[in-house]
Amino acid sequence: MVSARASNVAPLARRIYDRAHLRGEFRLRSGATSSEYFDKYLFESDPVLLREIAQGLVGLLPDDVHAVAGLELGGVPLATVVSQLSGLPALFVRKQAKTYGTCRLAEGGEVAGRRLVVIEDVISSGGQVVASCRALRELGAEIVVVLCVLDRESGGAANIAAEGLELRTAFTMTKVRAAAGA
């Protein structure tokens, strides 16, 4: 796992924490429960914060990729802004191919034969990332790297690595908490 440098990202990590950290009882996609939650839509709906986060993700992009692929739903706004900042085309990846119209899994262009960077917002177990990357590979894509904003450090990085995928993350839960003094 590659992570952004702490000295450059601590103020941004603090702003993400302040904007998106919630306390309560929450059920995660994995089925696990948590007493804290990062509401990604709160940082993704803030245009200034979203742009700063996307700039950090652009810095994690590898060379020689053909497009960025944002996972439904939280990866889509991130991929859109990363596309704008990097000049790379964006694809929007559904959890399941639609059953009407084009019946595509990924919108915005062809997948086969392309070197993709998959973008997700928050990773817990990594289950959706793994499933989506498998589906993209079945369609002929090469997944170069997976980028995420926040790794909750709850097994997702290991599950993604077990799939033979490299994870590059802007922040870990530990670093965000430390930046916030939590």
Domain spans of the chain, in order of start: 2-180
**Does pLDDT of 6 surpass 60?**
no
Q: At residue 30, does pLDDT exceed 90?
A: no
Position 8 scores a pLDDT of 61
pLDDT digits (tens, 9 = 90+) for 160-176: 999 999 999 999 999 99
Structure confidence by residue, pLDDT tens digits, 141-155: 999 999 999 999 989
Neighbours of 34 (CB within 10 A): 17
**What pLDDT score was predicted for residue 75?**
97
- Looking at residues 128-135, what average pLDDT do you find? 97
Top-tier CATH class for 2-180: alpha beta
R_g of the chain computed on alpha carbons: 16
